[in-house]
Structure formats: C-alpha cells, structure tokens
Structure 1
Amino acid sequence: MSNDLMNLLVTDEVKTTLDWLDAQQVSMQETVINWSHINSGSRNLDGLSAMEDEIVSAFRCLDTEIELIQLEDTETVLDSGEVTQVANGRTIRIFKRPTANRRVLMTGHYDTVFPKNSAFQKTHWLDENTLNGPGVADMKGGILVMLHALQGFEKTAAAANVGWEVLLSPDEETGSLASAPLLADRAQAAHIGMTYEPALADGTLAGERKGSGNYTVRVQGKAAHAGREFFEGRNAVVLLAGIIGKLSALTGGREGLTVNPAVITGGVAPNIVPDLAMCRFNVRLKAPEDAPWFEGEVQKIIDTANTEDGFTVELFGGINRPPKALSDANLKLMDLIGACGKSLGLSIAYVPTGGCCEGNNLAAAGLPNVDTLGVRGGMIHSDEEFMIVESLSERAKLSFLILTAFAHGALDSVISAR
C-alpha cells in the first residue's frame, strides 16, 4: 500500500466513520432477519413488491433519486412443453451525482431461489456469530452492506467527488435475462463496478468467473399404442436420449467447458409411445471464444436430430452470462481492495470460480468490477444458507474505504482507460 493511500485511509474523518459503522452492527443484523422473513423468490411477485418497499424505504435516508423500472416478460418452456411468457418484477435504480467525474455502479439483487411455498422461510442462530436463513447471505445481507457503506461515505467530504448508482434486480437468480440489457447500459456510464454477492466464509473473493448458459431441448414425436401400433409411433424419449449423449460428449471440447444435462421429462405411461420429451441443460465455459464453438456444435446436434422421420426438435435458451476475464483495470481494482482490506486487518484473497453473477454481465460490458463484496457466508441456494454476522459491519467498512480511496483518485488510471 502506498503511503499516500495509507494516509487518506487513517484520517480522523475516516476513523470516525468506521466507528459509526461498527455501531450499526446490531441494527444491521436485526434488519437482515426481518428482510429474510420476507419471501422474495424470483417468481413471487407479491414478495418482491414487499421487499422492494423495504429497500426503497431504507435507501431514502441517502437523499437520492429513485427509479423503479418494470422489466420485460421473459420466455420459458413449461414441463408440458408449452412456451409461455413469465412476468418479472422491477429493478430498483438509486443514484446520486450522476455527472461526477468519478462514477461507480453498485449492483445486487433482492430475489432469492426460494419459492413462495418453500419450507425454508425463517432464520435461526447456529451460534452467536452465524445466522441461518433464506437470503441472509445471498444477498439481503449484501444489500445492507451496500446501504451502510454509502451512508458512511455520504458523511464525508470526499463523497462530493463520486457519483454512485445502485441497481438491485428482481431476476438475478433466474439468470438476469430481463435485467441484462439494463445492467449493460448502466455499466457504460460507470468507471468501476462493485457487486454484493457473498464472499466465502473465510473472506475470500471471486476473481475470474466462467460463463454460463441454460437451454431446453424439446423433442416432438408421435404417440401410439405400445402394443398394437408401436411402429406407427415416434418415440421422443429415445431420440432425446441420443441427443443427451451427444450434448454430454461436448464436455471437455474446450478447456474447462462442461455440459450438465439436468432435468428430463417425457412420456405419460409405459404402454404409450411418448410423443414429447425435454431436457434442460447448462453449459459452463471458460473463454469468450468458446461460446460460438459450443453454439455451433449444439446446432449441429439439433439439425441432425431433425433429419429423423416424424420428429421435430427445437432448442430454447442460450448463453446468458459471458465469461468474466480479469483485465488490467480489474486487477488494479482488486489490488486497491486488497490494500483497503489490509488497513482493516483483513487479508483479501481471490479465487477463480465456475459460478456466475451480475459481475459477468458488467465485465462483458467492459466495466472492471469485483463481485463478492457482500457478507461472508456459505451454503447458498440451500436451506443451510448462513451468514457470518460480524461481517455485516466488517464488509460495510471495507466498501466505505474502497469508495473513499476511489474518491481520492486511487483508481484514476482505471478511469482514464475507460
């Protein structure tokens, strides 16, 4: 850490704000418990609306402009094979000083993976520093980290140097299909990105991320009696089985590329030749150039299957999160975060991951970002999800210092490269 940066992170004003953030710890943990008890699964529009009200109310203390942006409907394929449109909630956009010379985009999501009828609806303490509950780590705790870091930052004179924008999406857990264009657009207006997915329990952050795509292949054949008219039928399950084998064989076709056939449906009874079968599958890919290769190989499989007499094979979906590589600007941002962590006595490490988040979208739009600045936690997307409670104030202090360093020009070389 340079002496200049160290000096600006230990001023009386900064120390006072860090003390204030420490004092918010109890209030933060009480709020995250209340928020966790609001079911805001991605398809629970009523729950998303209730969560939206809580967030908007909480952020009003920052004297900001707030915009609620209704997202477009998105296409999905039902288990019945029917293609339909599903409604999404609203993105919450909160912004201040949008014309400042230094601008940061802070993103997150307020949906969870737990549907309205989930059995996992309440929090409970695993020990005095570990809270189990839906969304406590992923990422209602992260939203509170963001909020309190901004509250602390706005108490300082340096805040006048930074324009900040918060985007909170209602569809991240379903792939950000509707919010992706908005993320890309707002990324163009910023110099750095800060996203509030949870860090690992030990505080490790994500570096490089694989890209991801979700697909459905639907095979339409012809039903027939399995005994009397077997040869009149066209067995969709059999054709799909061959397709699945070919899709799975694409794993390893590029370094780090994996294909996961995951959900299979088809048929109604053993004595009926099945006329419909579907498979939902996921791909993870390491490099941007792997995407066109994979898409081309999948299309060959689909085209070949469509030459079979009496069958119609269709493919839905696509690659919705490109891989996140680390640019020089991204590395500079990561170094700065490490320096800010060091001033708090935190050791900041980064690891590559196969997981995806909005950080992929921001990177694809050219915005250097770090995307695991939320609370420390783990076991997300399960009923064992937990948050390390002390990390609420800890991570708020870290983000406050990042904003302070940014305001004082620590990343001006990144800005000049944008």
Structure 2
Amino acid sequence: MTSVTATESAMIERAADAPMLHHVEQWAAINSGTGNLAGLKAVAGLLTDAFAVLPGTIRLVAPDPVESVDASGALRTTQRGDHLHLRVRPDAPVQLLLTGHMDTVFAVDHPFQTLQWREPGVLNGPGTADMKGGIAVILAALTALEASPLAGRVGYDVMINSDEETGSHASAALIAELAKGKTAALTYEPALPDGTLAGARPGSGNFSILIHGRSAHAGRNPEEGRNALIAAADLALRLNALKSTALKVNPAKIDGGGPNNVVPDQAILRVNMRPSTPEAMIAAEAALRDAIAAVSRDHDVHCHLHGGFNRPPKPLDAAATRLFELVRDCGAALGLTIGWNATGGVCDGNNIAACGIPVVDTMGPRGGAIHSADEFLITDSLPERAQLSALTILRIAERGTV
C-alpha cells in the first residue's frame, strides 16, 4: 500500500466498508430472470432506492421493443424490463460509463431460487456473481468517490440494464448513447475465481433463417414439393463448414416438419456465429448470405434472414490495453495480481468497445459457475474489487485520461 496516497487510502477504505454483502443478499433474493417483468420491476425499485444516495439524476428508461421469429415463423415482439440510468456531473472534465445488468438467466419457475453458504466466504445463489455482486461494487466505489476531494473532476453515467443475458437488444441503443464521448468505461461482469479479467472477446450474432418450400403428398407427388426441412439441413451443413480459427459457428436448432406423409413447406434454422475480429464478422455475414442464396437456388425455396451481429468483436486496441494496464497497476498498489486473458464469451463490453471507448468489462467480484445452479460469489472479493474500482476511477480522474 506504500504507493497509495493519503487521499487514495481514505477513499479505498470507504469503498471496502460499504454494505455490499447486504445488498447482494437483498437483490439476489428476488428472481429477476430476463423474462420475469415483475421481478425485474422489484429489483429496479430497490436499485433506484440504493443509488439515490449518489448525487445527480436517476431515472428508469423504457426498453426498446425486441422482435424475434417464433417456431411457427411469425414475427413476435417481446417486452423487456426498464433500465436504470444515473447521471452525475455531465460537465466534469473526465467522463466515465459504468454498466451492469439486473437480469439473470434463471426464469421465475427455475428451481434455483435461494441463497446458501457453500462454505465460509462462498455464497451460492442466482445472480450473486452475475451480477448483483458487480452492481454492489459499482455503488460502493462511487459512494467512496463522492467523499473524495477529487470527486468534482469526474462525471459518470451508470447504466444497469434488464436484458444483458439475452443480448441487450432492448438496451443497445441506450448503451451506445451513453458511451458517446466517454474517457473510459467499466463493466461489472464477474472476474474469474483467481481474479483474472476477460481481455479480448469475439463478437456474437444470432440468426433465424425462415425457409419457405412447397408442400406435397410424400407418396403420390413428392417431386412437386420443395422440402424446406432438407433445405434447412443443407444450410446448417454449409454454415457449419465456415468454421475457422477466426469464426465459430453453431447451428443450434431447426423448427419445422410435420406428418410423415407431407413434404414440409416451412422450416426455421437457428444459428449462432462468433467472429474473432471485425474483419471476420464482415466476412461471416457475406458468407452467410452467399450460403442462403445457394440453398435458395439449389432447393428452389425462398429464404428470409432475421437477426444480426448484436455483439461486435472486442479486440484489445492500444487504448483498451492502456486501461487494462492502469487497472493492473492499481491492483498492484493494493497487493493484487491482475491479469487478463482472451475469452469466448460476450457482454455489454462488446457494445461499448464498438463505440470506440476503452473498456474493462470484468470489474465485478470474483466468482464462478455462472449460468448454473452452482453459481457462487467469493464474498471477500467484494471489498477487494470495490477498492480496485475506486482507485482506478480516482487515478483516471487525476490523469484526465487512461
């Protein structure tokens, strides 16, 4: 701690003393699966009350409509929950964006609903690490910042959305709006159990290809039909063949078919694509359209493409590397070893990086087994990561840059 100034020391002590575990237990006790609008509303209310201790203006932002293709081929609109937005000192010379998400992957009828201590210091529960713990760290760090004499040098937007776990379709425009002009951004996905951060991330796109063929009797005149299921299977194989070191492709599901004696006239192929670079994303989209055109021609069917790349790739450019190095150096001042590795996952950090803003997106507490009933939070890492965030924010404020 010898490299920490007196001002920094006072701030990080305040951050560590915040009631983060209490907040996690309170927030994680309420189911807030992305589709549970009542649960999300309850959590949003608690978060609004908690973040009201900070200065500035706080509001709940209505979600954008989300469209998807259902199993019958119809376009459906899905309602998501409100997003929380706090704005503090928008005219300060340094502007930061801090983001988190209040939703979890556990639906209201999922059996994983309660908290329990697996052992001292390890709390098992839905959303404890991903990411009610991260939201608690945001609040603790910013509350400590507000008591610092340097607080006036930095302004910030806090955005906690309701649909990160399903791709942030209802909040992507809000994220892009808030990212504009920011010096840097911090997102509070959990760090790995050993404290490692996620570095570069691939992009991700989800696509539904609706294939229209022609029905016919399977025995009397099958040659007059155009089998949409066969066309979908052919397309799945063609897309699967696009896999490379720069692109992951997962044909995930085919909806369609019917009675054995009817040539199926409709099928829907669902596929996920994960390009490692922006160039790979452009090439993947072009290859996808070429494959669809070839299948349409070869099977005499009509295809309609729905979806897109909602998470652009997040390479580590020079500005992002400087931000990671700043976080590493702040960790060293606190006696923490901070490293980072590329990962195959995606998050809102992808969206922020696509706006040209440097971002570290695993500033949350240490935990693991996320998206499973074994999810756990290492509770000693709450004060640890609150201190790391507080010191990082303060040093960005002091520098005026990353």
TM-score by length of 1: 0.92
Question: Of 261, 267, 271, which aligns to 2:261?
Answer: 271
Alignment of 1:260 with 2:250, yes or no, is: yes
Deviations 1:305-330 (A, max 9, x none): 22256522221111111111222221
Question: What is residue 99 of structure 1 aligned with on the other side?
Answer: 91
For residues 71-113 of structure 1, give each alpha carbon's deviation from its aligned partner in whole angstroms, at most 9, with x where no partner exists. 2201101122211111122221101111100111101111111
The residue number in structure 1 matching 2:378 is 388
- Superposed counterparts of 1:113-192, under 5 Å: 113-192=105-184
- Name the CA distance, whole Å, in 1 between partners of 2:281 and 2:384: 38
Q: Deviations over 1:272-324 (max 9, x none)?
A: 33222222111111111112211111111111222256522221111111111
Find 2:326's aligned residue among 325, 330, 336: 336
Pairing 1:10–2:2 present = no
SS across alignment from 2:306: strand
What secondary structure sits across from 1:263 in the alignment?
Answer: strand
- The answer to whether the 8 Å contact 1:222/1:310 transfers is no
Q: Which residue type is aligned with residue 307 of structure 1?
A: R
Q: How many Å separate the matches in 1 of 2:72 and 2:28? A: 33
Q: CA deviation at 1:260?
A: 0.6
Q: Distance in 1 between matches of 2:11 and 2:203?
A: 38
Structure 1 residues 314, 379: closer, same or farther in 2, change over 3 A?
A: same
2:16 to 22, 29, 32: 22
Other-structure match for 1:298: 288
In structure 2, the partner of 1:360 is 350
1:320 aligns to what?
310
What residue number does 1:373 align with?
A: 363
The worse-fitting range, judged by mean Cα deviation, of 384-393 and 242-251 is: 384-393
> Deviation string for 1:163-191 (max 9, x for gaps)?
11101111111111221122112111311
**Letter of the structure 2 residue corresponding to residue 286 of structure 1:** S
Stretch moving more, 72-81 or 270-279: 270-279
- Deviation of residue 127 (structure 1)? 1.0
Aligned partner of 2:297 in structure 1 is 307
2:45 counterpart of 1:75? no
Distance 1:36 1:142 in 2: 12
Aligned to 2:338, the other structure's residue is in SS state: coil
Distance 1:6 1:97 in 2: 31
Identity of aligned residues (%): 43
Q: Distance in 1 between matches of 2:174 and 2:2?
A: 36
User: Which amino acid in structure 2 is aligned with residue 102 of structure 1?
Assistant: V
Task: Give me the CA root mean square deviation.
Answer: 1.7
Q: Give the aligned residue type for 2:342.
A: P
Give the distance between the partners of 1:290 and 1:309, measured in 2 at CA. Answer: 28
Structure 2: distance between partners of 1:229 and 1:156: 80
Amino acid corresponding to residue 180 of structure 2 in structure 1? Q
The letter of the residue matching 2:5 is V
Q: What is the distance in 1 between the residues matched to 2:87 and 2:387?
A: 20
> Does 1:56 find its partner at 2:51?
no
1:227 is displaced (CA, Å) by 3.4
1:115 and 1:186 map into 2 onto residues whose CA distance is: 29
1:348 aligned residue: 338
Aligned to 1:61, the other structure's residue is in SS state: coil
Equivalent of 1:202, from 180, 194, 209?
194
Please report how far the alpha carbon of residue 116 of structure 1 lies from its aligned counterpart in structure 2 after TM superposition. 2.0
The unaligned stretches of length 5 or more in structure 2 are none
TM-score, normalising length: structure 2: 0.95
Write out the 4+ residue segments of structure 1 that deviate beyond 4 Å after TM superposition. none
Which residue does the alignment assign to 2:387? 397
Out of 7, 12, 24, the residue aligned to residue 32 of structure 1 is 24
| Residues in 1 aligned to 2:353 and 2:16: alpha-carbon distance in whole angstroms | 32
